[in-house]
Amino acid sequence: MKEVGSVALAALTALALTAGATDAQTNPPPAGSGAAKQKAVAPTIAVTVTNRRGVTASEFDTAPTGSAVFKPLLKKLGPGKSAVVMFPREENCSFDLYVKWDDGTTSSISAFDICQDGKINLVE
């Protein structure tokens, strides 16, 4: 289990990125073929995020390492609460994380390997 604390970062927060389903077919099956339209789901990794701080994490954003485009994954993770978030399975499992806390502080970490354990504890 991976713990993230303010000693190294200030106080890390929650994550979560959902991967949406995409159509496996671009054209409908021929009429009368009886073939059902199928959907392909992008490979994902489930990560459990637990807020062990005494403050609500109001926002948790993530981006593939080195990308400037962060996407919100989780909002309002209260003290002592956990949530499972889905990350897209990237080639190297490395993501940059950003957390905004209700007390006005923020935390961030670069190149976090989400494939390591599947759990993140947000601690003081």
Asked if 23 and 52 count as a contact pair (C-beta separation under 8 A), the reply is: no
Does position 76 have pLDDT exceeding 50, yes or no? yes
Does position 123 have pLDDT exceeding 70, yes or no? yes
pTM here? 0.63
**CATH number of this structure's domain 2-18+42-119, picked from the four choices 2.40.10, 3.30.70, 1.10.357, 2.60.40:** 2.60.40
Coil, helix or strand at residue 119: strand
> Rg for the chain (alpha carbons), in Å?
17
The model's confidence at residue 13, banded by pLDDT at 50, 70 and 90, is very low
